[in-house]
Amino acid sequence: MSSIEERNVAALERWVHEVFEEGNLDLAKELMAPSYVGHGPAGTVTHTPQTYPAAIESKRSNAPGKRYEMHDVIARGTG
């Protein structure tokens, strides 16, 4: 079995490529915590697996075909 760090990186890669790039909203519901808090330029936002897909679609529609490239990922376990 892989380490917690490896699982964290794999989940992030799936999130970026499958959810944001490909629009797999079912995977977003599967991977996200019951209460997501995001911090960004628009301020702090809270979403649930039921509300976040609409936010993802909104972001995707503003930049159709956008691709992401990860160069460095920091992931750590809980202990």
For 39-72, write each residue's pLDDT tens digit: 888 889 888 888 888 888 988 898 888 898 888 8
pLDDT band of 14, cuts 50, 70, 90: very high
**Does pLDDT of 17 surpass 90?**
yes
pTM above 0.85, yes or no: no
Q: What is the mean pLDDT of residues 14-32?
A: 90
Cα gap 20→31, rounded to integer Å:
13
Spell out the domain ranges in the chain.
4-62
How are beta strands 43-47 and 36-40 bridged, if at all? antiparallel
> For residues 21 and 1, is the Cβ–Cβ distance under 8 A?
no
Own/partner contacts of 51-57, CB < 8 Å, gap of 24 or more, are 52/28, 53/25, 53/28, 53/29, 56/19, 56/20, 56/23, 56/25, 56/28, 57/23, 57/25
